Structure formats: structure tokens, C-alpha cells
Amino acid sequence: MNSKRVFFALALTALLLPGCLPEERVWWSPQGDVAVVAAGDSVHLATVDGHRGRALNLSMEGSLFKSVSWLRDGSGFVAQRTRVVAKWDELRGLIPVEEIRSVEMLLPLVIPLLEAAASLGDQAKTLEDMISGLSEEQMTRFAHAIRRKFEQEPERVEKLLLALPKGGELASSFKKSGTGYEISELCVFKLGDTEFIDSKSLTRSLLRPALMPRMSPKHDALAFLRLDEDGESVALEVITLDDGAEQTVARQVNGAFDWTPDGRALVFMAPLGGEGEKLQSIHRLTVIEENGTFTKPGKPATLATAITLNRPVVQVLADGRVLFASQPVTLPATGTGPELAPRLYVIAADGSAVTPVPTAPGDLPVNLGFFIASPDGKHVAVVESETDAVAVVEIDTGKTQIISPPHPRWQCRTMPAWKSATELTFAALHEGAPAWMLWSEGKPLRCISESWSKTKTAKWLEQKSDSTTNSSPISKPDSTR
């Protein structure tokens, strides 16, 4: 993420889920009868026989559709959407008053700053250079302030922008149809059937986007990530579905969190140092009382410390154990530290012990950051980002099955999704093209998307531009190890 270069970006999406890595595209309902599927440039409800309802009108850019959390009864789901509001006055009443004020307080600074930038003449300083010292949150507010000032004095602001390098592009973007102020929302989408959708907004923001919603498995509460008030870090928050009461659980976390099976506590990762820190702590904190109301957050219990080199992931299993990936290490260590292959680990439900999943050496990929446990917590599906191989690992025994072998020059860009405890859907090559596949224990693989246009799943895998092949451990040809 480069906020100095793209100061209009609401950067939390790019921070958490880079587009060049495997990402979620399929979310099965708790009953496993229907899935929300992001395919091509649209989002559909789909069944395991490949039937797709019409595209859901979610009023969002497909690239921002990153996570879905189903309601417990399968009657709907929660997802993020981004919608555009054309005029500043239309925002009033939609977003918090504090956000309106924080942008408007910058309006008197817009013209003087643009004039100062224009006066530099031959030095050709861009507007980005002028504001490069601002924080992410300040840049976002200032970007909205420029747009608002353009609404008020379009000719004056455009003249000043045209005097700046790249200023003409900015002025043109303000006048382009369909653009405006982007509001980030978390919405509950209720399903009448596969052809109808109704929505209710839980929280909206212009400055602090909310992402990664996850429903409590026992209560009508939702956990999610939000850009923190400092505009630089990420906070973990919870909100109730009925009255929209919100509470901050923890600040300066990363993107890894999950609910405990009783739906009352959250397990999450947080760096021990600053941004980019490899050393991560895994914490557990109770946030909901037995009656479903919020409890005052106390001090979280630290369950373990992990070393993550890639995407941090933590998942709570059905029996309360916690699954995560880490490099094995004993401290102190000589030099810059050991460069050992990462492993999967399980924390006991009571936090008393951490044990490795007993996979054979070389069974897991080097970039062990893309895995998801089955609903019953007995298996974990693992994909690579450098090949298109997919493996299923039995957590207690470490037995590993390669359910989809690697193909030369292909890379996975789609996370697998469990339909049930014994059925997994994932992306794989089928008749030479990326497709949506179903694996069931003891049964042949089946293509779900056979009746779809191949463009719908074309981006689910990516073909390398050169002939380099990957020889990482999960790519071994053995079907079972």
C-alpha cells in the first residue's frame, strides 16, 4: 500500500487482501444448500448443481467484495459494500457527524494549498509531494475536502489543478459521471429466494472502512475490522444486529481473528512490534455475556506467540482449539534467526499447550498462509499461491491428500470453501481452463461450473507469464502422504 502515491485509496482492502494472492470468492451457507459466489464481474447465489440466480444488486465494485458471513439460520448474510454518493449534502445523515466536521474543517486550507503548489512553477511539485507528510487518515480527509471545494467553486479549483502535474487528471475525475464520495457500509442482506434480496445497513463510514465481517455462532453480534481512528492501524470491533451498538475490542491488530464456538469470545492476532512485525501474539478476549449483551472488555489472555512470514491466519476449531501457522523456532537464536519451513499448530481449548499438526516434512507449502479448516474442525484445506495445488490435511494425524495436483505455469488465486464437513469446493483446471470443482471424500471430483461461461471463473487461477515451474513441497505428485 502506497498512500503517498494513491491518496484517494481507502487502503484497508489492499492492506488485508492483496489481489495477487488467493482470495475468497465462495461463501457457503451454514446448511450448505446455497453459496454466495463472486464470479467474473458479478455476485450470484449458486447451488452445488451449478444453478445460478440472477446477479445480486449489491451496488459495489467487485474488487471490494472481499468477505461474506452468513446469518446462523441461513436466511441472509452480512457483507461489505461501497456505494457512491454524488453530492456532499447527500452525505448528511448517512455518515457520522464527526466525519462531516473533520472534512469541512479542512475546506479553508484547500485553495491556499493549491495556490502554493501552483506557484512552484518550474519546480513542478505534484500535489502528492505537497501533502506527503500527512497521515493516511489526513490524506483521505483532504482528498474529500478537495472534491467538496470543487463542488463549491468548480472553475477556480479546476484552474488551480490544471496548473499542477497530474492535476488535470484529478479535475477530470471530479467531473466524470458516476463518481463521488465513496461510503463503506456493512449490510445485512436478507434473502426471500434466489431471485430477491433486501438489505439493511449496520454501519457506514466515509473515512474508516469496515471489512471482514464475521457473525457470532451463537449471538446476534458481528465482529469486523475497521481502520482505526489514527488512520494508520486496524481495530477489531463488534456490533449488534438489532440496535447497532458498537464496541472496540482491540487496536493495532492484523487481519486474523475468529469467534470461539460459544460465540462469546474472539481470538485474534496482533504484532508484538510495529507494522510488518513477524512476531505475532495470539489473544483471546470475552466480549459477550451469556445473555448476549456486550461485556466490558478486560485484558486479553495471551495463548501463544507465532512467527509469520506471510499472511497471518488464525481459526478456532469446532472443539475450541485454535489453529494457526508459524515457523518453528527456539529463542535465543544465532544470526538473523532460523529459516525453517512453517508448520501448522494447534492450541488446546484451555490454552494449556501448543502442539504441531504432525504432517510429514515437506508436505506443506513454504508460503503457509492460505488454509481453511472444515466446519467440524477435523480437516484443513491448504492451497499455494505459487502453484494451483490443493491439499486436504487431517489435523489430528497429519495425513495429507493432494486432491488437485499442480499444473505447470498455473497459480491459485482463489481460496477453497467448505460446503460441509466432508465436501470442499475449490478452483482447479478442468478441460484446460479454471473451473469451480467439488471434492467429496471417496468420490470422484466434479465440476460445478460446467454450464457457466468460462469467463466467470477465468481469474480464479492465474497463468504465469514465463515457463518457470514451482517445486514447493505441496506440489509432490503423491496423492496421499
Specify the pLDDT at position 62: 42
**134-149 residue pLDDT tens:** 677 788 888 899 999 9
- Which phi and psi (to 5°) does residue 458 adopt? -60, -35
C-alpha pair distances (Å), 303 with each of 182, 279, 282, 314, 357: 39, 14, 6, 12, 17
**6-47 residue pLDDT tens:** 322 333 333 344 457 899 999 999 999 999 999 888 888 999
Specify the pLDDT at position 96: 92
The dihedral formed by the CA atoms of 446, 451, 457 and 461, expressed in degrees to the nearest 10: 40
**89-137 residue pLDDT tens:** 999 989 999 999 999 999 999 999 888 877 776 554 556 666 666 677 7
Specify the pLDDT at position 58: 65
Specify the pLDDT at position 69: 96
Specify the pLDDT at position 106: 93
Give the DSSP per-residue string, 321-370. Answer: -EEEEE----SS-STT------EEEEE-TTSS-EEE--PPTT-S-SS---
Q: Per-residue confidence at 63, pLDDT binned at 50, 70, 90? A: very low
Specify the pLDDT at position 342: 85
Please give the distance of CA 106 from its chain centroid, rounded to a whole number: 31
In contact, 284 and 260? CB cutoff 8 Å: yes
Q: Is 224 helix (H, G, I), strand (E, B) or coil?
A: strand
Specify the pLDDT at position 147: 95
In contact, 173 and 161? CB cutoff 8 Å: no
Specify the pLDDT at position 209: 86
* CATH number for the domain whose boundaries are 216-327: 2.120.10.30
Task: Give dist(CA 187, CA 58) in Å, integer.
Answer: 10
Task: Give dist(CA 301, CA 287) in Å, integer.
Answer: 12
The type of residue at 266 is: L
Neighbours of 195 (CB within 10 A): 10
C-alpha cell at 473: 513441497
Domain spans, the chain: 11-83+184-208, 88-179, 216-327, 357-481
**410-468 residue pLDDT tens:** 999 999 999 999 999 999 999 999 999 999 988 999 999 999 999 999 999 999 876 55
Specify the pLDDT at position 129: 66
**pTM for the model:** 0.87
Is residue 188's pLDDT more than 50?
yes
Q: Per-residue confidence at 163, pLDDT binned at 50, 70, 90? A: confident
Is residue 290's pLDDT more than 60?
yes
- Which phi and psi (to 5°) does residue 306 adopt? -130, 155
Segment 302-308 long-range contacts (CB within 8 Å, at least 24 positions apart): 303/267, 303/347, 303/351, 304/345, 304/347, 304/354, 305/272, 305/279, 305/280, 305/281, 306/269, 306/279, 306/280, 306/281, 306/282, 306/345, 307/278, 307/279, 307/280, 307/337, 308/269, 308/278, 308/280, 308/369
Specify the pLDDT at position 56: 77
The type of residue at 449 is: S
- Edge-first strand listing for the sheet containing 343-347: 314-316, 322-326, 343-347, 354-356
Specify the pLDDT at position 17: 43
Q: What is the mean pLDDT of the chain?
A: 85
Neighbours of 470 (CB within 10 A): 20
